[in-house]
Structure 1
Amino acid sequence: MSRPPERALMALLLTTLATPLEASVDASAYHGFWLWSATRHQPVLEQASTLYLHQGEILDRPGGPRFVKLGRVPSPLKAGQVWLVVRVNALPISPAHQQVLVRLYEAWRAAGAQVAGIQIDFDAATRQLDRYGDALQQLRRALPPGCKLSVTGLLDWAKTGDVAELNRLPVDELVIQTYQGTRTVPGYQAYLPAMAQLTIPFKIGLVQDGEWDPAWQTTLAASPHYRGEVVFLLNRPAPSPGAGRAISSFTPPAP
């Protein structure tokens, strides 16, 4: 008798966990990237099929939440798909800031970029995913038709949280980050088998030059909901004067 798909995937994940083969994350082997504000241009950006562009932060302040604009201005991009990323440290997102996100989306679309939607970068507590889902539902209602919603996620969400609650998040994709800051989370492999329980589209986020066993990519691909990897680009050692370009001046070639 064949195993149910979920059990078969779990078996594959556990097999991969038992035979790790760590390697450094070589960004040139990937086609999806996070491009945070102030990150210098890298040649790998020319091969990007998907870009996640940091556009600002909604910060909790004594006088109330404030939006801080960061990153490049709207312009055409070579990438076939663009997500506009906003870091958030306070929820729910106010109606005024929901409209800020709508205007960002519309401005990039008007500039000719192939914008898929908005990505929210928020470290929700694992035991408060239900409240996070409510806040995302409010935001989703404010977004225009055709604007998708993506969120970043913590490794701990699937392993120790309520996976059913996670699968109810009103999003078009979830990108689970295997790193904190600029370093891979130690023992990240122990968290990955829980991904077999996800029934929403998901990706794995890697950090450039971080640790990663590429065999996981094949293993995770056994899930019909897996959509690949996204690499968080880092600033490399400073180039010689005049050799580098800041993100604010980076202009990919036209499609």
Structure 2
Amino acid sequence: MRARRIVCTAPLRDDTDCMHRSLCCLCLSLLALLALLCAACSPPPPAPLEQQVYIWQRQWQPSHRQVLTQSKSDFTVLRVLALQFHPKAGWARAYPDLQQLIADGRPVVMVIRLDGQLPQADQAQILGQTASLLAEWQASGVNLQGVEIDHDCASARLPAYMDLLAALRAVLPTNLALSITALPTWLNSPHLEALLHQVDSSVLQVHAVNDPRDGLFDPQQAKRWADAYGKRSEKPFLLALPAYGVAVIEASRQVESEAPLDVSGRRRELLADPQQVANLLTTLDECRPEKLRGIIWFRLPLPGDRRAWPLATLQAVIHGQPLNASITVDVNQAGPLRELTLVSKGNRDVDLPARVSLAGSHCEAADAVAGYRLERGESGPVFVRKQPARLAAGQRQALGWARCSLFEQGAIHVSP
């Protein structure tokens, strides 16, 4: 690499001027050479963070095929729930569509969930169950890349967990990577480094790790945890980020997620805010924790999953696109009868409007449906929301109907 030659061509008045010009040219030459050397020695910018996703449904649906196709370019690896163990319920298998995973072709990580309240790990059972599933998945032709153990045990149980991981590593095929999920509370344990030495990589979970009453996700706390974890881990790790919400049943403090619980009581909805998560991704790009290799999203959204972000929202956050939302009213006319439907526009969910009025219209009859009630305004029917609710991106919800002899253009007024 050659430095550019600096040429001074201004006319010289005397010897002093000549000396000054010579020094100036020398300084400029040195600065140019230094800039070239710095450019040559500066490390290249880090590669973009890898994007992976958890598929957490125990029973696969036809819509899995559609969503996997739509997200083909968004996620490099699929982490698929395969098996769960709970002290009370015992072993429960998930039933992913292996042929669909084969057709998809992306690398797959088999996830085995061991409940954190497990009193003592039965190594023989865990190894036997894992070996059986591995044989089935590998024989099917799934592009299996590794096995992940999801075990949210207390910090005091990490030495016993290390023994389990060592035994599992000894029987896993050498071409399969072993990974685990990790809790921020483990940062206080002196055993963390030894635990991470047993695996090829780990996944730091930074959502749903505190008391639900404190919220589902705190982006500032997540960044602090990731920075601290990066300093403790000698191996690559990924960050598990939320793309969903839950409801806390206040009387029992139970948490309801994608599957409804048969429990009565008032529910308080908690949602990971897409804009907060997007801001965290920007921060991670600007100041990346040591050893952070990628992001794993929980979870792959399916149509009808009422507490997961819509796929459009997740894709917008992943690709750094602006988040926007608005509500319009779609009118389907059949003679004097008009059916009114709320439509969510944009790529994120939006609050349902507090009021929708049909001002200036001559309506003889009307009625509200779903979460709205009908009131009579001075200029026409008014649809009033009963309680706060949200509408996901791209979704529609019936508002009501009106029978009008005159329906003026621009008669619908939507109030936030």
Residues 50, 79 of structure 1: 8 Å contact kept: no
Q: Which residue of 2 aligns with 1:162?
A: 190
Q: CA deviation at 1:53?
A: 0.2
- String of CA shifts for 1:66-102, please: whole Å, max 9, x gaps: 3211131433142431111111023424323312212
Corresponding letter in the other structure for 1:184: F
Does structure 1 residue 118 correspond to structure 2 residue 113?
no
- String of CA shifts for 1:166-197, please: whole Å, max 9, x gaps: 56441111000111189325732332220231
Q: How high is the TM-score relative to the length of structure 2?
A: 0.44
Q: Are the structure 2 counterparts of residues 95 and 78 from structure 1 closer, same or farther at C-alpha, using a change threshold of 3 Å? A: same
Q: CA deviation at 1:133?
A: 1.1
How much is the aligned-residue C-alpha RMSD, in angstroms? 2.9
Q: Which residue of 1 aligns with 2:285?
A: 218
Q: Which residue of 2 aligns with 1:83?
A: 109
Cα distance in 2 between the residues matched to 1:55 and 1:136? 18
Q: Are the structure 2 counterparts of residues 192 and 57 from structure 1 closer, same or farther at C-alpha, using a change threshold of 3 Å? A: same
Cα distance in 2 between the residues matched to 1:136 and 1:167? 8
Cα distance in 2 between the residues matched to 1:107 and 1:60? 25
Residues 85, 121 of structure 1: 8 Å contact kept: yes
Q: CA deviation at 1:49?
A: 1.5
Does structure 1 residue 147 correspond to structure 2 residue 176?
yes
Cα distance in 2 between the residues matched to 1:71 and 1:184? 29
Q: Which residue of 2 aligns with 1:191?
A: 225
The ranges of structure 1 where at least 4 consecutive aligned residues each deviate by more than 4 angstroms after the TM superposition are 219-222, 234-237
Q: Percent identical across equivalent pairs?
A: 21
Cα distance in 1 between the residues matched to 2:175 and 2:106? 16
1:171 to 175, 188, 199: 199
Q: How high is the TM-score relative to the length of structure 1?
A: 0.69
Superposition pairs of residues 62-101 of structure 1, within 5 angstroms? 66-75=90-99, 76-89=102-115, 90=118, 91-101=120-130
Does structure 1 residue 106 correspond to structure 2 residue 135?
yes
Cα distance in 2 between the residues matched to 1:81 and 1:66? 29
Q: Give 5+ residue unaligned stretches, structure 2.
A: 1-48, 210-214, 245-271, 306-416
Cα distance in 2 between the residues matched to 1:185 and 1:136? 30
2:56 to 24, 27, 36: 36
Q: CA deviation at 1:234?
A: 5.5
Corresponding letter in the other structure for 2:281: P
Corresponding letter in the other structure for 1:85: V
Aligned length: 206
Q: Secondary structure at the match of 1:32?
A: strand
Q: Are the structure 2 counterparts of residues 80 and 205 from structure 1 closer, same or farther at C-alpha, using a change threshold of 3 Å? A: same
Corresponding letter in the other structure for 1:49: T
Q: Which residue of 2 aligns with 1:208?
A: 243
Cα distance in 1 between the residues matched to 2:80 and 2:163? 25
Q: Secondary structure at the match of 1:144?
A: coil
Q: CA deviation at 1:214?
A: 1.0
Cα distance in 2 between the residues matched to 1:112 and 1:215? 38
Q: Give 5+ residue unaligned stretches, structure 1.
A: 1-28, 240-255
Corresponding letter in the other structure for 2:242: V
Cα distance in 1 between the residues matched to 2:174 and 2:203? 22
Corresponding letter in the other structure for 2:282: A
Q: Secondary structure at the match of 2:104?
A: coil
Residues 220, 226 of structure 1: 8 Å contact kept: no
The structure showing larger relative contact order (alpha-carbon pairs under 8 Å, at least 6 residues apart) is 1
1:58 to 76, 85, 93: 85
- String of CA shifts for 1:118-151, please: whole Å, max 9, x gaps: 1111102123322211121122223233232111
Cα distance in 1 between the residues matched to 2:175 and 2:125? 20
Q: Secondary structure at the match of 2:109?
A: strand
Q: Are the structure 2 counterparts of residues 216 and 174 from structure 1 closer, same or farther at C-alpha, using a change threshold of 3 Å? A: farther
Residues 49, 80 of structure 1: 8 Å contact kept: yes
Q: Are the structure 2 counterparts of residues 222 and 165 from structure 1 closer, same or farther at C-alpha, using a change threshold of 3 Å? A: closer
